[in-house]
């Protein structure tokens, strides 16, 4: 009797282990498919706008607590003759004029210096994005990818628990925008993009 219980227990453990391995593989496959779809959306916006995304890999060189990074470094990457691709969380939308909204977008890669765009974008381009955000009940932090022509780079200093932090801000105009779901999902996609 005791021997048969051990056999049943061993079978249950083997089944549980096998199920968890297949669940892990399934979750990994879903994450890879999601990341691939996000990369495709980012690439599509960049291609449609003939936008530059090389700044992401250039900025990855400045990662780390002991590496200095200044607005002038970002100016070299963003103040170029074509738009840049920028993906992040849509933090705010405000009316700027009868035809434009002012968007605040936060870059989602927590390993880079904190980056934001404060850009103007045509209301007719933003309206479908706002509709998609309202209909997406799963996203906790709405993510967007924009192609934007940056005309000015600056910084703001914000309080933190222990001191202050510097946030780099690009100003300009959006030339294209797309909704890409939850901005949290972007974090790992952008880190991988920066490594390439």
The torsion angles phi and psi of 113, rounded to 5 degrees, stand at -55, 150
Would you state the structure tokens that stand for residue 79, as one six-digit string? 């103040």
Q: What's the pLDDT at 195?
A: 46
Q: Please, what are the averages of pLDDT over each run of 10 residues along the chain (196 residues)?
A: 53 56 74 83 92 86 67 95 95 97 86 88 97 91 96 93 90 96 78 48
Q: Which helix (H) or strand (E) holds 156?
A: strand 142-160
Q: What's the pLDDT at 196?
A: 45
Nearest to 116 by CA among 127, 102, 98: 102
Q: What's the pLDDT at 137?
A: 87
Q: What's the pLDDT at 174?
A: 97
- Other beta carbons within 10 angstroms of residue 80's beta carbon come to 15
């Amino acid at each position: 009797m005791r021997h048969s219980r051990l056999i049943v227990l061993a079978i249950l453990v083997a089944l549980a282990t096998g199920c968890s391995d297949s669940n892990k593989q399934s979750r990994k496959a879903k994450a890879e498919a999601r990341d691939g779809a996000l990369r495709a959306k980012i690439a599509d916006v960049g291609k449609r706008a003939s936008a530059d995304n090389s700044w992401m890999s250039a900025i990855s060189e400045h990662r780390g607590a002991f590496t200095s990074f200044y607005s002038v470094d970002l100016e070299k990457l963003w103040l170029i003759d074509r738009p840049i691709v920028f993906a992040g969380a849509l933090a705010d939308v405000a009316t700027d004029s009868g035809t434009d909204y002012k968007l605040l977008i936060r870059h989602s890669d927590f390993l880079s210096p904190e980056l934001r765009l404060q850009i103007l974008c045509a209301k007719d381009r933003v309206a479908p994005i706002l509709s998609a955000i309202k209909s997406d009940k799963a996203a906790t932090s709405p993510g967007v990818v924009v192609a934007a022509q940056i005309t000015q780079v600056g910084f703001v200093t914000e309080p933190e628990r222990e001191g202050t932090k510097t946030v780099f801000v690009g100003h300009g105009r959006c030339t294209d925008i797309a909704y890409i779901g939850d901005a949290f999902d972007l974090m790992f996609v952008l880190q991988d993009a920066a490594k390439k």
